[in-house]
Structure 1
Amino acid sequence: MATVKIILDKRTNRSDGTYSINFQICHNRKTTTRSSKIYVLESDWDNESKTIKKSNTQHKLLNIKLKKEYADIQSQLLIADDVKVQEFLKPAIQPQKPIEIKKTIFQFANELINQLKADNKIGNAWVYESTINVLRTFYTTDDLYFEAIDYEFLTRYNSFLVKRNIKHNTVYLYLRTIRIFYNKAIKLKIVDKGLYPFDDYKLRPEKTKKRAVETDILKAINNVELPIDTPSWDNRNYFVLSFYLIGISIVDLCLLTKENIKGGRILYKRRKTGKWYDIKLQAEAEEILNHYKGRSKYLLPIADDKAINDERLMRGIKYKTKVINKYLSRIAKDLKIDQKITTYTARHSWATIAKKAGFSIELIAEALGHEYGNRTTAVYLDNFDQSVIDDANSTVIKLIQ
């Protein structure tokens, strides 16, 4: 009866110090070997269990491959007659190329980042870059493969981030992004789906603190006397204009041009979601825009209208957003407001004030571009007439005058 063993062939080592793992086949005192095309260091080989140790970063993938090929050879020998076994023994070891080197997580992520930048999805590219940069502080060498990401790895990485006093939701963002990498790698057949670790390692964000503020606080910010055409005055205007346009994000606000104004309305596509918005240009908003008319190719002189590419443009807006928040913080401090005021406050506050003014959650959700309720049933509901949302916005704006 033919037998097969797995051995580490230490007769010849390669230039990188690795040895070939072979299948040794014996039958009627005749022996031959077949290469598995797997090469490892002697220190990475467990001769007792005939497996590759965890010290090899690809040990999971390679052990799966080794086990499968071993089982295949056993099956072939089991059903073969004596003649076929003799034929099976004929091939001698031929020089074999090592198995294809798999992409590391860092290589894979960099390809995704480059593609996102090419598609002008700069925000997502930055999230991916940030995730990879932080991961490198934990795993400092380049040989991190998807097979190494298991429950134990994720647990240790989570502890590492927590010890660095990184906020819970930021930790969640980093781990969620690694999960995105893993899911994409599975679809591209870079890693086996059976190794997926996130079925056991659950991710849960922490509920964020309330970002909305009451009407009287917004009224105070809107009406505080500031010297005209100073940074404080300008940045307050940008914040208030975001509120007047139903909480438009600062990125979208910065990128508005005269082409976005049609028939007394602002029409724009939200950069983050790709959703289109149609907002009536209320008199209060129009007054602010008229003040900055002609200063830039954009409606507001915030974004760099000479930026050479989209990434440079977005980096500039990101910096200007920090500047706006800095001045909002100063204004709040001068007004003795003990709540944090940022560009996010405008959107959250608009929704809160609209709700307290008696408008339905459904109307508020549609004004903000959100889905409300069950998706299946939502398709049967008529959209609110645009004039109803216009009237709601007019009412909310008047409450902070």
Structure 2
Amino acid sequence: MATFKAEVQNKRADGTYNVRIRVTHNREIRRISTNLYITLDDLTKSLKIKNVNIVEKCDDIIRECRVVCNNLGFRLFNMPIDELVSKIKNHLQGGDKFYLDFMQYTKEKASEMKKETGDTYTSMLNSLKRFTKRESLDISEINTNFLLEFEKFIASEPSQRGSNKKKYKKDSKDKTKAKGGRAVSKYLSCVRAIHNKAKEQYNDEDRGIINIPFSPFKKYKLKPLPKTRKRALPVTLIQQIIDLPYEKEIIGGRSSLFNLAKDCFILSFALIGMNSADMFRSDSPKNDILVYNRRKTEARRDDRAEMCVRVEACIRNLMDKYKDDKKLFRFHRHYTNHKVFNAVINEGLKKIGKKIGVDHLEFYAARHSWATIACSSTVGIDKYTVHEALNHAPDRAMKVTDIYIDKDWSVIWDANRKVLDLFDWSKITSNV
């Protein structure tokens, strides 16, 4: 027969103790945490609970535990203790009516993720709160119709970034541009991932415990990500950027965003599409070979997305222009984080885009341009080498093969040399 006793054990950092119910069954012991917290004033010297109100509340909880045991009848005797504890917890949390706050659960899971991934889930959560106009949401409320309505909301809601932040008004005539398909696909993917995590954690099919029986994503189909807008620039436009004269810097004034954007765009292009986040944080040794781990994918790769790039002579002056005694570049001294740094670059690229006749020129175009030019008939680099040069993860067909092959970085460096040889770098090597 199972027995129950209220107890406290370890003192918490804030000086309180959590009251737990000790469950003893078939000579095994487990403990169930409660929502009761007490201090030393509520305890005897031997840590027995003496506060009458707490004792009464514990007695109420223990009575509910015994209700579960009584309802099990003879099945209780051979039941494993973990299954018994699971049934007791289920009963204490509402019996047959399982409740899980999807918003709070998402917040907890997002806090366990890598920062950038967690930020995406937090953005989804904030959008969900604006949609429901609530701070909590029972997971049972998420059904196919709910997902369809959330999808419509995301697609029609104006961007919530920076100065574009606006309140959502269903009948508003505001012409602010909506988020678009990427946000719909990304946010609903987050909802699905959290929903699946909850089912994995709170359902136990082996023991017949199904707290979350619904599978709304069997009917609701995620919208595919919209095709990325082609952002590659041809050789002629890259050359125009190289040849653009620098703006005059004002001594003691704000540095020219135009000049910074031009230099960073060229650096990214010549370093085989190095991202702004990696430029911002890299502490690669100051020599002709840059070695860094690509921030975007290092946590998902066994090789930590290691990248090795040979610095070509055409950009050596630019490398020296921004050198730092701690990191590869000194950008970290002037900007709070890589996101601010990237935003500043893109602001400067708007001015460059106007000069060369390219609308919405963005920093990522440098990476796209390198890949496109490398694969062009003029250069003729094979697609697999370009794939390797961009540090993309190998597909399933190549993963096993890659185990047996050491990466030859010189092939990638030679490919980069062929791309850079298409350009006249005299304006960079002489003017920097």
Normalising to structure 2: TM-score of the pair? 0.63
Separation (CA, whole Å) in 1 of partners of 2:419 and 2:317: 17
Amino acid at match of 2:385: L
Aligned residues: 297
Q: Specify the alignment match of 1:358 in structure 2.
A: 380
What is the TM-score of this pair, normalised by structure 1?
0.67
Give 1:132 shift.
0.7
Match of 1:346 in 2: 366
Within a 5 Å distance, the mapping from 1:79-98 to structure 2 comes to none
Instruction: Output the CA distance in 2 between the equivalents of 1:381 and 1:223.
Output: 44
Identity among equivalent pairs (%): 28
Q: 2:314 aligns with which of 280, 284, 287?
A: 284
Q: In the alignment, which residue of structure 2 is the partner of 1:392?
A: 415
Partner Cα distance (2:383, 2:211) in 1 = 44
Matched residue, 1:129: 122
CA distance in 1, matches of 2:371, 2:362: 15
Which has the bigger relative contact order, CA under 8 A and spacing at least 6? 1
2:28 is matched with which residue?
Answer: none
For 1:196-345, what aligned pairs fall within 5 Å after superposition?
196-203=215-222, 204-227=224-247, 230-257=256-283, 260-261=284-285, 264-274=288-298, 275-294=305-324, 297-304=326-333, 313=336, 316-335=337-356, 337-345=357-365
For the structure 1 residues 255 and 97, does the alpha-carbon distance in structure 2 shift closer, same or farther, using more than 3 Å as the test?
A: closer
Q: Check 1:375–1:146 CA distance in 2 against 1; reply closer, same or farther (3 A cut).
A: farther
User: Highest CA radius of gyration, 1 or 2?
Assistant: 1
Q: Could you tell me how far apart the structure 2 residues matched to 1:400 and 1:111 are?
A: 51
Q: Residues 235-288 of structure 1: CA distance to partner in whole angstroms, max 9, x if unpaired?
A: 21111111111101100111122xx12652100011121111111121233321
Q: Which amino acid in 2 is paired with 1:279?
A: V
Contact 1:363/1:384 (8 A) holds in 2:
no
Unaligned runs of 5+ in 1: 1-72, 77-95, 308-312
SS in 1 for 2:291: strand
Alignment RMSD, CA only? 2.9
Is the 2:322–2:331 Cα contact (8 Å) retained in structure 1?
no
Amino acid in structure 1 at the alignment position of 2:338: I
Amino acid at match of 2:320: N
* Separation in 1, partners of 2:293, 2:141: 40
Paired residue type of 1:291: K
Distance 1:299 1:281 in 2: 12
| Secondary structure, counterpart of 1:298 in structure 2 | coil
Amino acid in structure 1 at the alignment position of 2:327: Y
